[in-house]
């Protein structure tokens, strides 16, 4: 269904500033009432509602992100002192650029830097922190000094590296994400190998959000077949899915203008899950 002309998209688009942005760029946390939405929250939600790089609101943000990654203009004045913020910004923004425009040359350059590190970090046949740290030093000329700089645990790494790795390393990094006890930071904080016990739950919705991230890898179909089996076992008698009213989070749901009727919620859940499932089914 087309959700780009619905009330949720209009709400977001009506809150843009004169530069076509929203608040500061960074934070992937869920929007909070009475607090200004960030640009990252806005484009995340717009993407879920069906916006692409062909749509003017996304084009404006993509242009600004590219200017920032290439060093020609700041994205905003926000920074965090616990990180090498310019490096983190390039990682974060390049991941978002590739989500909308996978072949963007500016983002591909950054992706290539992190792919260099990943190939060496997993070069022994499994993740090795010492190899990761040495590859980081070779790439950036210093030792890593904050959490995001090693471990490949964040949403941004998982997105940025898609299509950038050798088949051997891609297989290893998918296994790493699937079995990582902490899940994918910012998206889901549990091991993806362990299926949620309750399907109609916010936990299941967050779990599927992490699976959706990994579905962009070429080997996701063979690695995540157990998720397809789980989804199929939770269809209702009409072949549809219902994650329950509790998943209405302002990020992934709702898609329809209203959930006053259960059938709209089921339609939204089924649409989202079908999109994920299609990317995981071996053809």
For 73-126, the pLDDT digits (tens) are: 999 999 998 889 999 999 999 999 999 999 999 999 999 999 999 999 999 999
In this predicted model, which residue has the larger pLDDT, 65 or 29? 65
What does the pLDDT read at residue 82?
85
Q: Which of 163, 194, 225 is the last residue of a domain?
A: 194
What does the pLDDT read at residue 146?
86
Please give the average per-residue pLDDT across 50-76, as a whole number.
Answer: 97
Same-domain pairing of 85 and 180: yes
Exposure string of 187-203, with b = 16+ CB inside 10 Å and e = fewer, is bbebebeebbeebbebb
Same-domain pairing of 146 and 157: yes
Distance CA 72, CA 85 (A): 16
Same-domain pairing of 170 and 208: no
Helix (H, G, I), strand (E, B) or coil at 188: strand
Same-domain pairing of 185 and 215: no
Average pLDDT value over all residues in the chain? 96
Please give the average per-residue pLDDT across 157-182, as a whole number.
Answer: 98
Residue 95 is assigned to a structural domain of this protein: no
Please give the average per-residue pLDDT across 205-222, as a whole number.
Answer: 98
Tell me the residue length of the chain.
283
Same-domain pairing of 181 and 205: no
Residue 98 is assigned to a structural domain of this protein: no
Going 151 to 157 to 161 to 162, the CA torsion angle's sign is positive
Distance CA 46, CA 3 (A): 9
What does the pLDDT read at residue 225?
97
Q: Predicted confidence band at 157 (pLDDT cuts at 50, 70, 90)?
A: very high
Please give the average per-residue pLDDT across 176-186, as a whole number.
Answer: 97
Distance CA 222, CA 215 (A): 10
Residue 99 is assigned to a structural domain of this protein: no
DSSP codes of every residue in 241-266: ----GGG--SSS---SS--SSHHHHH
Going 275 to 277 to 282 to 283, the CA torsion angle's sign is negative
Residue entry with tokens 């071996």? 282
What does the pLDDT read at residue 52?
98
Same-domain pairing of 62 and 85: no
Please give the average per-residue pLDDT across 227-245, as a whole number.
Answer: 98
Instruction: Please check the confidence at residue 13 and state whether its pLDDT lies above 90.
Output: yes
Residue 249 is assigned to a structural domain of this protein: yes
Same-domain pairing of 175 and 85: yes
Based on the structure, what is the number of domains in the chain? 3
Q: Which of 155, 177, 194 is the last residue of a domain?
A: 194
Contact predicate 236/244, CB 8 Å: no
Residue 100 is assigned to a structural domain of this protein: no
Contact predicate 82/117, CB 8 Å: no
Same-domain pairing of 20 and 114: no
Same-domain pairing of 47 and 65: yes
Residue 129 is assigned to a structural domain of this protein: yes
Residue entry with tokens 């640009």? 39
What does the pLDDT read at residue 35?
72
Residue 128 has which token pair?
Answer: 């090795």
Residue 281 is assigned to a structural domain of this protein: yes
Please give the average per-residue pLDDT across 61-73, as a whole number.
Answer: 97
Query: What is the domain range of residue 57?
Result: 1-78
Instruction: Please check the confidence at residue 189 and state whether its pLDDT lies above 90.
Output: yes
Angle at 114 between CA 113 and CA 117, to 5 degrees: 100
Same-domain pairing of 177 and 188: yes
What does the pLDDT read at residue 83?
87
Residue 118 is assigned to a structural domain of this protein: yes
Same-domain pairing of 2 and 66: yes
Closest CA to 93 of 32, 146, 19, 39: 39
Same-domain pairing of 178 and 85: yes
Please give the average per-residue pLDDT across 56-81, as a whole number.
Answer: 96
Q: Which of 167, 194, 221 is the last residue of a domain?
A: 194
What does the pLDDT read at residue 23?
87
Q: Is 5 exposed, middle or buried (0-12, 13-18, 19+ CB in 10 A)?
A: exposed
Q: Predicted confidence band at 283 (pLDDT cuts at 50, 70, 90)?
A: low
Please give the average per-residue pLDDT across 249-276, as a whole number.
Answer: 97
């Amino acid at each position: 269904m087309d959700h780009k002309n619905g009330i949720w998209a209009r709400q977001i688009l009506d809150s843009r500033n004169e530069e076509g942005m929203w608040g500061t760029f960074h934070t992937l946390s869920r929007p909070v009432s009475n607090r200004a939405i960030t640009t990252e929250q806005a484009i995340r939600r717009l993407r879920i509602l069906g916006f692409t790089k062909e749509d003017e609101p996304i084009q404006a943000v993509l242009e600004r992100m590219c200017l920032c990654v290439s060093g020609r203009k700041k994205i905003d004045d926000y920074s965090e002192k616990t990180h090498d913020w310019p490096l983190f910004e390039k990682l974060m923004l390049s991941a978002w650029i590739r989500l909308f425009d996978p072949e963007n040359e500016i983002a591909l350059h950054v992706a290539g830097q992190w792919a260099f590190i990943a190939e060496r970090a997993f070069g022994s046949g499994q993740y090795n922190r010492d190899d990761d740290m040495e590859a980081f030093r070779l790439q950036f000329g210093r030792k890593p000094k904050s959490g995001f700089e090693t471990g490949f645990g964040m949403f941004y790494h998982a997105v940025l590296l898609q299509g950038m790795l050798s088949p051997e390393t891609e297989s290893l990094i998918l296994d790493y994400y699937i079995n990582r006890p902490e899940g994918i930071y910012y998206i889901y904080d549990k091991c993806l190998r362990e299926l949620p016990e309750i399907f109609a739950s916010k936990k299941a919705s967050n779990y599927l959000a992490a699976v959706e991230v990994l579905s962009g890898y070429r080997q996701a179909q063979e690695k995540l077949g157990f998720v397809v089996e789980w989804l199929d076992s939770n269809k209702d008698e009409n072949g549809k899915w219902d994650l329950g009213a509790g998943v209405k989070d302002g990020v992934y749901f709702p898609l329809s203008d209203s959930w006053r009727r259960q059938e709209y919620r089921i339609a939204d859940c089924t649409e989202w899950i079908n999109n994920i499932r299609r990317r995981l089914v071996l053809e």
